[in-house]
Structure 1
Amino acid sequence: MTKPAGQLAFDELGTPLRATTFVVFDLETTGVSDEDTITEIGAVKIRGGEVVGEFATLVDPGRGIPPEVVSLTGITDAMVHAAPRLDAVLPAFLEFAAGAVLVAHNAGFDTNFVRKACLRLGYRWAKPTVVCTVQLARRVLTREEAPSCRLSLLAELLGARTRPTHRALADARATVDVFHALLERVGSVGVQSLEELLDFIPEVTPEQRRKRTMAADLPTEPGVYLFRGPSEEVLYVGTATDLRRRVRQYFTASETRRRLREMVALATRVDHVVCAHPLEAQVRELRLLSTHKPAYNRRSKNPKQSWWVTLTDEAFPRLSLVRVPREDALGPFRSRGLAEDAMTALQDATGIRPCTLRIPAQRASARPCALAELGRCGAPCAGRQSVDDYAAAPVAFLGLVAGRRLDPLRRLADRLTELAAAQRFEQAGFDRDRMRVLVRALDRGQRLAALASVPELIAARPDGAGGWEFAVVRHGRLASAGVARRGVPPMPVVDLLAASAETVLPGPGPLRGAPAEEVGVVLRWLDRPGTRMVRCSQPWAEPAFAAASWRDWLARADAALSSRVEVHR
């Protein structure tokens, strides 16, 4: 017997609502601004339509409760005087709600208060699944039935046993009754699982629902998916740890982006490539984006369009921005503006001339420009520097990029100190921001280049189920990927992957011809805790004087910039 089009198979139903634990909660607060805090928490834990627990407590807000709030809730300063503070109450509430789906009336307000409290007090906000009964009511009830979605009106309309009173536990109990009544309504239209409920709440077009069958035959494995249009063109490429579940989301209300809804309307089928593990999926996605340049993807379609800073080939070399790097280039930069910032910092750090004039090796007789008068150029154009005198500048650039020296960075830092001492804070800020770009580019470029220089590297990560994920990396590119499931001897799998891996011949430039984004994806996978080196054809190491030693300075500079941005906001 075949199932009707659009109907889910049993294994696609997800978590049944009757088996889902919900924590319905409500807060009372001193107000609605970011400076306000919680005065009461009430929560009811339900499962299968039954109450399995309750949580209720007043909270000392550490400040006076405004009179208008007292008149609304009835909670006075005297009532919270002996109550516990939020730092004592919050962990108990988080434990009560752990692993459950949170439900609240106007959930954005309540969850935002809890999230900010976690951030302020140092507790982890687990980003739980949240259901808002206001949104659910708007989907279930017509405007004629419920002109307003205030909790008191919905409680009366839906026959709630508890009357909301602006006290946390009473309001949470009333919300439970409203929630159960709304679930009865959505059950009649086929919503039986948590996933279906979450898909049902936002608006979804009939066209999206009809195309849901495109995901029906996809496997539940990691991989890459490709949406194709009416002329077989690739519209969109993405990755997933579970292909079927991820692609199904495009045909539900969880996909709210207008651009991708338009893409789904055009799509005629979904192709897929199963991958051994998420790293292989990420790399395949990058390569497919570069090949097909899908109209609805916004990133990674031109991996070779980065900017690099390199030396010109002349008697008195200058710095130049190029698309195709040489061995000694600095980069990659995602924009020309960032590359120009780094180039300006490099000129100040090394003494490389900032002008674009081509200067002959002999009889230089041009008139020095204003930059020479400001001390930013040695004026080789006017014969004030010989080729030998000037050679120290490009040597400093090459040594800095290669990780053989750090004195140019110290020179920039000393200049920042001098500017601050002279109270030239605006100029110091500009110079610091350019130096930030330079240090970050040096650090990233040196790490990527170090990986790309290794002919072959084989690494393994635990798969979380007693097995291993393997990656064979050659000159920074993923050459082969595979897994050894629990109980499978790993080394024969490693040998087979190495023997069948793609041949990678090193190309030009610091990254040996590999796309920077791919090397970056591989590097992040290798950097994750738990990754182990199986074998390496040569030592994988960063240079002795790499810019990594300036990461503490970079963190302080980033913090200073963030503070300045907040002030200007």
Structure 2
Amino acid sequence: MSSAVRTEPSRWETQRSFDELGRPLRDITFCVVDLETTGGSAEAGSMITEIGAVKVRGGELLGEFQTLVNPRSEIPAFIAVLTGISNTMVSDAPAIESALPAFLEFAQGCVLVAHNAPFDVGFLKHFAERQGRPWPSFDVLDTAKLARRVVTRDETPNCKLSSLAVLFNASTTPNHRALADARATVDVLHGLMERLGGLGVHTLEELQTFSGRVTTAQRRKRHLAEGLPHAPGVYLFEDERRRVLYVGTSRDLRTRVRSYFTASETRTRMGEMVGIAERVTGIECATTLEAQVRELRLIAQHKPRYNRRSRFPEKVHFIKLTREPWPRLALVKRVLDDDADYLGPFSSKKVAEKAVQALHDSFPIRQCSERLARRPSKSPCVLAEMGRCLSPCDGSTDEAAYAEVVAQLQQTLSNRPDRVVASMTARMATLADDERFEEAGVHRDRLAAFIRAAARTQRLSALTRCPEVVASRRENDGRWSVHVVRHGRLAAAGVIPPGANAHQFVDQLKASAETVTPGPGPTPAASAEESEVILRWLEKPGIRLVDVDGEWTCPVAGASRHLAVHDAVNESRKTLVPFDDRREITTVHQPVR
């Protein structure tokens, strides 16, 4: 794969967004808020009685906000004792309909901070919704959650605001009044930020995702990210012998790699990997699609032990309709240039076997594995006696009749799965009517395996048949990305520089693109994963086809039109679980007695 050489800095270098760069904490305006309420749940009818807030940036006080709020109901006695806010005090106070808009105006453009933020922000959101008022897209920081990741039990017995105020020598003692508690929270926030600054946490994104599970040894390695660019690409963690440990991709290499040392990475195996790593190599890519493809290729090349997916793209299975006097279906591990029909690839042999069973349920071709002579003379098998095989072995069928069934099977594999769908659906309906639901479920799974494989094969074959597809898309930064795809493989990627001649750029990109030799089967020039990643990009809204060499078409009556039903069934099986338990469901099939 090749990329066009840029003649001037890209916007990745000159005008990167806040999300890509990370927002420095010194530049963030924080609005630290605290509420007093009549109870613990707005949903249950509790009301706000006071709002206090402090606005700060870079350690400097910018302003304060405080108002009592008339709850329009009696304040419970124990709440009045706790907060010191009585019914008399709030009798002339504004209602929440007036207080909330005033607070939102004060907090506009800030990052909201609260101690136990779900409580305070939850109340504010509740009343905004009741008023029909859109909730601003605030970033939210919870000092209680952050403290639990930073402060040890040796320092303080708990992470209550009063305890943390003592630990960080807050200038204000929290007393269950909103403004005083907000002021104390400001001091706690600054104390936490000061402590984390020494650990390399300098941006809001790092602060929000900081984890105490990242060890000191890991944080010391954050310098490994310093040489990486703020650009899309692929990163490789390597050990002291330059062996690749892990490959990943990101829209912003430097920010993503830094997170392994300072912030959000809490997976045990990733912590182990970072402990071993001695070097991080970054490969800048012109586009995010190029980065995704490079990641897949590098994982397949190096097979890093800390990557769990895509390591063995060669370990796939295909269903093959053999070319011999009496064709049969066989499971094979690679596609040959033998003019046979193939379905796949399947990442799992078990799923491939289900698809084979769906085809055997619909087409009575032989299931024996030996090669038969043109005029065999053998005893019929059990399947033949059951009427599930045409039984060429004992001469029960002639070549013409058998060839007709094989031709129908070929058409099913290539463009029209209707016979399998109709046959399996009818069988499921009969079993369901007889309340043999487990058997019906077996056939459902077989049909789903076949439909997904057929749709995948048809989509991949359509792309790999094309010698060249050139497509472009306007990205979020306003520039046009261009990709050259040859036989389903990404051959070149680039971004048209501002002011450049688009046609000339595309011609140069095509001229410098990788030469790709076609091969047999649906995905011979690239892994199935790579071709599918490319297809997903090509199917995005806003894609413009610049040039297509060949015919990029999928059969109108193909398997893809049946996918929606099977996908919906699969999703419903995942979600129809009591108590919001969303674990994956495994269907257990028991023998029918």
- Is TM > 0.5 for Structure 1 vs Structure 2? yes
CA–CA distance in structure 1, aligned partners of residues 324 and 574 of structure 2: 41
User: Does 1:542 pair with 2:554?
Assistant: yes
**Would you say the 8 A contact 2:335–2:520 is kept in 1?**
yes
Q: Which residue, out of 499, 506, 516, partners 2:528?
A: 516
Aligned partner of 1:211 in structure 2 is 221
Residues 512 and 91 of structure 1: is their aligned pair in 2 closer, same or farther, counting only changes over 3 Å? farther
Q: Which residue, out of 155, 158, 161, partners 1:148?
A: 158
Residues 314 and 184 of structure 1: is their aligned pair in 2 closer, same or farther, counting only changes over 3 Å? closer
Deviation per CA, 1:122-171: give whole Å up to 9, x if none: x9999975533224334554534421223454457665858575x99997
TM-superposed CA distance for 1:299, in Å, is 1.7
Aligned partner of 1:346 in structure 2 is 359
Percent identity among equivalent residues?
A: 46
Aligned partner of 2:147 in structure 1 is 137
Deviation per CA, 1:148-197: give whole Å up to 9, x if none: 223454457665858575x9999778755643554466568886542453
CA–CA distance in structure 2, aligned partners of residues 31 and 276 of structure 1: 51
Aligned partner of 2:6 in structure 1 is none
SS at structure 2 position matched to 1:251: helix
TM-superposed CA distance for 1:367, in Å, is 4.0
Aligned partner of 1:234 in structure 2 is 244
Q: Which residue, out of 488, 491, 502, partners 1:476?
A: 488
Q: Which residue, out of 290, 305, 308, partners 1:295?
A: 305
CA–CA distance in structure 2, aligned partners of residues 153 and 159 of structure 1: 10
CA–CA distance in structure 2, aligned partners of residues 418 and 99 of structure 1: 62
Residues 358 and 437 of structure 1: is their aligned pair in 2 closer, same or farther, counting only changes over 3 Å? same
CA–CA distance in structure 1, aligned partners of residues 103 and 559 of structure 2: 45
Larger mean Cα displacement after TM superposition, 90-99 or 329-338: 90-99
CA–CA distance in structure 2, aligned partners of residues 344 and 71 of structure 1: 73
SS at structure 2 position matched to 1:217: coil
Q: Which residue, out of 18, 21, 25, partners 1:17?
A: 25
**Would you say the 8 A contact 2:53–2:178 is kept in 1?**
no
Q: Which residue, out of 434, 446, 452, partners 1:440?
A: 452
TM-superposed CA distance for 1:227, in Å, is 2.0
Residues 29 and 19 of structure 1: is their aligned pair in 2 closer, same or farther, counting only changes over 3 Å? farther
May I ask how many residue pairs the two structures share in their alignment? 537
1:451-530 correspondence to structure 2 within 5 Å: 451-530=463-542
User: Does 1:249 pair with 2:259?
Assistant: yes
Aligned partner of 1:333 in structure 2 is 346
CA–CA distance in structure 1, aligned partners of residues 490 and 188 of structure 2: 53
Q: Letter of the aligned partner of 2:553 in structure 1?
A: A
Unaligned runs of 5+ in 1: 1-10, 61-67, 75-82
Aligned partner of 2:423 in structure 1 is 411
User: Does 1:553 pair with 2:571?
Assistant: no
**Would you say the 8 A contact 1:151–1:164 is kept in 2?**
no
CA–CA distance in structure 2, aligned partners of residues 315 and 230 of structure 1: 58
**Would you say the 8 A contact 1:31–1:69 is kept in 2?**
no
TM-superposed CA distance for 1:357, in Å, is 5.7
**Would you say the 8 A contact 1:44–1:176 is kept in 2?**
no
Aligned partner of 2:11 in structure 1 is none
Residues 174 and 485 of structure 1: is their aligned pair in 2 closer, same or farther, counting only changes over 3 Å? same
CA–CA distance in structure 1, aligned partners of residues 151 and 312 of structure 2: 48
**Would you say the 8 A contact 2:428–2:440 is kept in 1?**
yes
TM-superposed CA distance for 1:316, in Å, is 3.3
**Would you say the 8 A contact 1:225–1:239 is kept in 2?**
yes
TM-superposed CA distance for 1:424, in Å, is 2.1
Residues 182 and 461 of structure 1: is their aligned pair in 2 closer, same or farther, counting only changes over 3 Å? same
**Would you say the 8 A contact 2:469–2:549 is kept in 1?**
yes
Deviation per CA, 1:183-228: give whole Å up to 9, x if none: 4665688865424534655243232222222222222222222222
**Would you say the 8 A contact 1:101–1:129 is kept in 2?**
yes
Residues 320 and 471 of structure 1: is their aligned pair in 2 closer, same or farther, counting only changes over 3 Å? same
Residues 224 and 142 of structure 1: is their aligned pair in 2 closer, same or farther, counting only changes over 3 Å? closer
CA–CA distance in structure 2, aligned partners of residues 492 and 302 of structure 1: 39
1:255-334 correspondence to structure 2 within 5 Å: 255-326=265-336, 328-334=341-347
Residues 536 and 169 of structure 1: is their aligned pair in 2 closer, same or farther, counting only changes over 3 Å? farther
TM-superposed CA distance for 1:521, in Å, is 1.1
TM-superposed CA distance for 1:43, in Å, is 8.6
Q: Letter of the aligned partner of 1:539 in structure 2?
A: E
CA–CA distance in structure 2, aligned partners of residues 124 and 518 of structure 1: 41
Computed over aligned residues only, the root mean square deviation of the Cα atoms, in angstroms, reads 4.6
**Would you say the 8 A contact 1:436–1:557 is kept in 2?**
no
TM-superposed CA distance for 1:534, in Å, is 0.6
Aligned partner of 1:79 in structure 2 is none
Structure scoring higher RCO (CA < 8 A, sep ≥ 6) equals: 2
Aligned partner of 2:75 in structure 1 is none
Q: Letter of the aligned partner of 2:348 in structure 1?
A: S
Deviation per CA, 1:364-390: give whole Å up to 9, x if none: 4424416743x5444444543333333
CA–CA distance in structure 2, aligned partners of residues 386 and 44 of structure 1: 88
**Would you say the 8 A contact 1:38–1:113 is kept in 2?**
no
Aligned partner of 2:588 in structure 1 is none
What is the TM-score of this pair, normalised by structure 2? 0.76
TM-superposed CA distance for 1:320, in Å, is 1.4
Deviation per CA, 1:513-555: give whole Å up to 9, x if none: 4211111111111111111111111231112321122133223
Larger mean Cα displacement after TM superposition, 181-190 or 531-540: 181-190
Residues 211 and 551 of structure 1: is their aligned pair in 2 closer, same or farther, counting only changes over 3 Å? same
CA–CA distance in structure 2, aligned partners of residues 296 and 350 of structure 1: 44
Deviation per CA, 1:39-87: give whole Å up to 9, x if none: 5677958442445768999999xxxxxxx9999999xxxxxxxx999xx
CA–CA distance in structure 2, aligned partners of residues 218 and 472 of structure 1: 27
Residues 422 and 501 of structure 1: is their aligned pair in 2 closer, same or farther, counting only changes over 3 Å? same
TM-superposed CA distance for 1:297, in Å, is 1.6
CA–CA distance in structure 2, aligned partners of residues 233 and 350 of structure 1: 50
TM-superposed CA distance for 1:465, in Å, is 2.7
1:118-133 correspondence to structure 2 within 5 Å: 130-133=140-143
**Would you say the 8 A contact 1:40–1:56 is kept in 2?**
no
**Would you say the 8 A contact 2:65–2:103 is kept in 1?**
no
TM-superposed CA distance for 1:416, in Å, is 2.0
Residues 402 and 84 of structure 1: is their aligned pair in 2 closer, same or farther, counting only changes over 3 Å? farther
Residues 356 and 139 of structure 1: is their aligned pair in 2 closer, same or farther, counting only changes over 3 Å? closer
TM-superposed CA distance for 1:453, in Å, is 0.7
Unaligned runs of 5+ in 2: 1-17, 73-77, 85-94, 584-593
TM-superposed CA distance for 1:249, in Å, is 1.8
Aligned partner of 1:63 in structure 2 is none
1:175-186 correspondence to structure 2 within 5 Å: 175=185, 178-180=188-190, 182-183=192-193
CA–CA distance in structure 2, aligned partners of residues 369 and 126 of structure 1: 70
